[in-house]
Amino acid sequence: MRCVFDRYLYGHNHIKGCWEYHLEWCPKYRFKMFRKESIRHDCEAVLHKIAKDRDWELLELAVMPDHVHLIVRSKRPENPSKMLFYLKGRSAYELFKKHPNMRLRYQKGHLWSRGNFCRSIGVDVEVERR
């Protein structure tokens, strides 16, 4: 039986599969940090760069004023909590570097809240996109 995602199947050693996750997280205290177009655009660019560096494919990316939605596909099995750890840590570092005035709001250097949301995506990707 062939997988619906056959064109997306990746080989890794002796594993073939398709690993897709829906990830969400928000800034600390739910501040609406991404109302400004420049900060939102920089956040999107940083997340795209991180995904490219890690060899992940971003299927959907929505940076809302107070949270981030992301649907990501990996070529090899990855722990989604480690994916979130890397995305949140690296993006915070890059955003603080590009926008030093954000340090006025987050003096201790913690941009993202500790909580997050993660769900693996099955065959029906359209449900997740909605």
pLDDT score, position 3: 46
Please choose, from the candidates 69, 75, 85, 76, the residue with its C-alpha nearest in 3D space to the C-alpha of residue 119.
69
Average pLDDT over residues 8-14: 56
pLDDT score, position 6: 47
pLDDT score, position 2: 41
Average pLDDT over residues 22-32: 91
pLDDT score, position 129: 63
How many whole angstroms separate alpha carbon 76 and alpha carbon 106?
A: 35
pLDDT score, position 90: 94
Residues 70-122: tens digit of each pLDDT: 999 988 888 999 999 999 999 999 999 999 988 888 888 889 999 889 888 87
How many whole angstroms separate alpha carbon 100 and alpha carbon 103?
A: 6
How many whole angstroms separate alpha carbon 118 and alpha carbon 27?
A: 16
- On whether the CB atoms of residues 23 and 117 are closer than 8 A, the answer is yes
pLDDT score, position 78: 87
pLDDT score, position 75: 82
